[in-house]
Amino acid sequence: MATERYNPRDAEPRWQQKWNEAKVFETDNDDPREKYYVLEMFPYPSGRIHMGHVRNYAMGDVVARYKRARGYNVLHPMGWDAFGMPAENAAMERGVHPASWTYQNIASMKSQLKAMGLSLDWSREFATCDVAYYQHQQRLFLDFLEKGLVYRKQSKVNWDPVDNTVLANEQVIDGRGWRSGALVEQRELIQWFFKITDFSQDLLEALDTLDQWPEKVRLMQKNWIGRSEGMMLRWEIVEATAPAGETEIEVYTTRPDTLFGASFLAIAADHPLAKDAAATNPAIDAFCEECRRAGTSLAALETAEKKGIDTGIRVKHPLDPSWELPVYIANFVLMDYGTGAIFGCPSGDQRDLDFARKYGLPVVPVVMPADGDAATFSIGDVAYDGDGIMINSRFLDGKTTGEAFEIVADRLSSMTLGNAPQGERKVNFRLRDWGISRQRYWGCPIPVIHCDDCGVVPVPKKDLPVQLPEDVTFDQPGNPLDRHLTWRHVACPQCGKDARRETDTMDTFVDSSWYFTRFTAPWEDKPTDLSAANRWLPVDQYIGGIEHAILHLLYSRFFTRAMRETGHVDAKEPFKGLFTQGMVVHETYSRGSGMSREWVAPADIRIEELDGKRRAYHLSDGEEVAIGSIEKMSKSKKNVVDPDDIIASYGADTARFFVLSDSPPERDVIWSEAGVEGAHRFTQRLWRLIAEASGNLRDVLSNPAKDGDAKAISQFAHKALKAVQNDYDRLWFNKAVARIYELVNALASPLTKVAAGEGDQAYRAAVRDAAEILIQLVAPMTPHLAEECWAALGNGGLLAHTNWPVYDDTLVIENDVILPVQINGKKRAELTISRDADQNAVTEAVLALDDVMKALNGQTPKKIIVVPQRIVNIVV
């Protein structure tokens, strides 16, 4: 029987339409079955999807389809992370309004995603720039404000004086604005902050409960939160050297044990005492200025030399009032960590040591390694910052660093300076509060009003939403909201006088910090429907890129806690399972070198292989092109492959199948033409085998064989089913692919026999059973092809509605096992024996094997190790 080639261009839209008509993927919140929430990080609507999206969404779709077949009520929604700078840049460059640019992009990306055949519930779709979404975000903001989770404070920002805007740190390149090229200034602006630090300890501790997250991400978050245990320590200023009104300096330290090694105090250039000193001393002022400038731009590049200047201030050592130490301003002390002041212990800290050597300050070793010798231990150019035994530390000598920490902490806590304890134990975090103010148009307006009399007044909830005005211009730099003629003018909600709206909008990370919660009831007229949110959260499986390991995931964890405190959800953690997938990478091609180097797109070249050497030639002129390294797909290197082209020529199933095969999902996958063709051959092969046999299988009822020639077929299929099921449960897509290939290889000959009219009824029933298992196994990856095959076998109804098959235990367990037989750890023979044979029987049978007798050559075994159902090892 001649069979037509499988034509994805015909089949894929056809099945997509059927799924659509049957609303297979629309999820009912009231469905009583066990829930499963699978989500991929929603995309920014840049205009086109790329291969990274294809891989990300293919993975999520496999999980969604698999869990659906397993009987779960699956929620698998999609939306758009739609606010942000690119829309405003488009407005500036091309005069398009950000809204129309964004919604057009959404429309085209949506049609691309639809062409992939993803099993998404599109009825829940929204974009974060929809008023219907961001009005609820404003409501959440106001609730957080009431709870004290939002506040304003002055803080330093990167200010671009040409564009009149604040720049994120990533937008500052070599001290200049990435767009304007202007030298970036540090400005103090009043900004809105979320109090994420209220949850520092909880965010840290709860990481331990996230056992379905990659260890790596948890570690990154742990380091980011940066908990340290130490103490606050107050140093009395020697009166004669004190600036007016100042009596003490407070420092934070994690090493109170090294207190006798102190030789100076150092404060940040922005420390209040530094400012006092600068006011009266031009040299100090100049030094502080220099620190500030270096801090903004090149600090990260140079491993900046430790520099400082003596303030003239002297302090008394807390444990010896007769001991006076100098106070320096130092460039390596940060104002926004701890108290902006440290005590320097040169022997125990490399920075302090470098500093001390430069300014001739004493270096007293106070800790030596446990196996050191107190008489000879000294410090050269390298500080010793490890644990050990105290020396040169009076009453601490001989104690361990841990003991010394406790003794000093206890003693200082019980001492007083003025009317407060000299020191107290203190846990400190690196994590800072989250600044959310952006001086931009295309973001969620912060719903507050500034009144000269009443101060900062929240917009009353009944007045929400605060909607972005549409009539804005982008012909001048700065925030269009600021110069809008009417929008910002508003009556104060409290006193009714003329007042001004806040013109800052929110960081777009706010938008993505709760969208997964909104998906649970996007129609609700409050931010959440509490029962729906509680039902669905946490997300069972979240899938996305590792680049969001810290910010997005940490902000979302904070947001969920804040929403919990304000009664919008009961869950504490948003994502139960997290998976970070690798990138799609591709070879690069280029010609020319240096400045005239030209990158060539994969679509414009042809590869030839001669004597094992691959060479690339340009399609247009036949000129040879150099094959470069394999890199992340990027426009600048032109090594991009457009998903649209792939779907048009091979179909969505091939693209999906390929990005899931080959590499483990957490690792990068190399996109190659040959690989895609291999995947495509597979789809054609599967179709051909099923289609050719379908005529003789249509009228047969599936039934696995328990004996006869067909038994092996049924065993193979049911074992594959068990294995692939396990692979899907663990997101081992590449292994599932390999096993599916094996199953197709094993079924090729039986299917061909059936196609030729061979095989009795029982044989055909077993083949049909195996074929159906195969189709179900590939369905999550290549759903259109699977539906087509399913229908070809004469099945009515959609495969997407069909339950996952159940493997037959008796077919999966072998009665006989093949044991490898080793002699001295090297394999010499094989033994086939009954699964439940006891040790003695195995030993006896092994020694009777020809190969074993030959290898032993008369020697008596010293020992025979039998690992049941595994292996036998004979030691001679």
Partner RNA sequence: GCGAGCGUGGCGAAACUGGUAGACGCAAGGGACUUAAAAUCCCUCGACUUCGGUCAUACGGGUUCGAUCCCCGUCGCUCGCACCA
Q: Which of residues 651-680 bind RNA (CB under 7 A)?
A: 661-664, 667-670, 672, 674-675, 677-678
C-alpha of 714 from chain center: 41
Least Å from the CB of residue 182 to RNA: 24
Among 99, 162, 748, 847, binds RNA (CB under 7 A): 748
Is residue 8 a contact residue for RNA (CB under 7 A)?
no
Between 269 and 562, CB nearer to RNA: 269
Least Å from the CB of residue 344 to RNA: 8
Contact 127, 106 (CB under 8 A): yes
Segment near RNA (CB under 7 A), from 139-147, 226-234, 368-376, 789-797? Answer: 226-234
Please give the residues from 309 up to 348 whose contact with RNA meets the rule CB under 7 A: 331-335, 337-338, 340, 342-343
Strand extents, DSSP E, 492-602: 498-501, 505-506, 541-545, 578-581, 584-591, 598-600
Contact 241, 229 (CB under 8 A): no
* Residue 677, token pair as written in the block: 């063709």
Is residue 268 a contact residue for RNA (CB under 7 A)?
yes
Between 150 and 578, CB nearer to RNA: 578
CA distance 74 to 71: 9
The per-type count for the chain, helices as H runs and strands as E runs, is: 26, 37
Closest by CA position to 34, among listed 72, 64, 74 = 72
* Type of residue numbered 175: G
Least Å from the CB of residue 554 to RNA: 12
CB crowding 251-281: b at 16 or more within 10 Å, else e: bbbebbbbbbbbbbbbbbbbbebbebbbeee
Which of helix, strand or coil describes residue 337? Answer: coil
Provide the mask over 227-246, with x wherever binding to RNA is found by CB under 7 A and - wherever it is not.
Answer: -x-x----------------
Segment near RNA (CB under 7 A), from 90-98, 777-785, 805-813, 823-831? Answer: 823-831
Among 89, 164, 494, 822, binds RNA (CB under 7 A): 822
Least Å from the CB of residue 742 to RNA: 5
Is residue 738 a contact residue for RNA (CB under 7 A)?
yes
Annotated binding residue 635: yes
Among 830, 836, 838, 844, binds RNA (CB under 7 A): 830
Using CB under 7 A as the binding criterion, the count of chain residues that bind RNA stands at: 79
HSE value, Cβ hemisphere, 13 Å, CA-based, for 694: 19
Closest by CA position to 58, among listed 71, 49, 70 = 49
CA distance 503 to 801: 50
Contacts 24+ apart (CB under 8 A), 392-398: 392/260, 392/261, 392/364, 392/365, 392/366, 393/257, 393/259, 393/260, 393/261, 393/366, 394/260, 394/319, 396/257, 396/260
Among 131, 162, 304, 762, binds RNA (CB under 7 A): 304
Please give the residues from 548 up to 607 whose contact with RNA meets the rule CB under 7 A: 550
- Report cis status (omega within 30 of 0) of the bond before 538: yes
Least Å from the CB of residue 378 to RNA: 21
Please give the residues from 685 up to 714 whose contact with RNA meets the rule CB under 7 A: 685
Is residue 49 a contact residue for RNA (CB under 7 A)?
no
Segment near RNA (CB under 7 A), from 94-102, 112-120, 417-425, 681-689? Answer: 681-689
Which of helix, strand or coil describes residue 525? Answer: coil
Between 499 and 823, CB nearer to RNA: 823
Between 628 and 664, CB nearer to RNA: 664
Please give the residues from 430 up to 469 whose contact with RNA meets the rule CB under 7 A: 430
Closest by CA position to 15, among listed 123, 118, 113, 108 = 118
Provide the mask over 247-266, with x wherever binding to RNA is found by CB under 7 A and - wherever it is not.
Answer: -----xxxx-----------
Segment near RNA (CB under 7 A), from 35-43, 90-98, 292-300, 407-415? Answer: 292-300
Is residue 173 a contact residue for RNA (CB under 7 A)?
no
Among 319, 327, 492, 737, binds RNA (CB under 7 A): 737
Is residue 500 a contact residue for RNA (CB under 7 A)?
no
CA distance 445 to 488: 11
What residues does 821 pair with on adjacent strands?
A: 829, 872
Please give the residues from 840 up to 869 whose contact with RNA meets the rule CB under 7 A: 863, 865, 867
CA distance 345 to 492: 55
Provide the mask over 393-432, with x wherever binding to RNA is found by CB under 7 A and - wherever it is not.
Answer: -----------------------------------x-x--
- Residues annotated as binding site for ATP? 635
- Residues annotated as binding site? 635
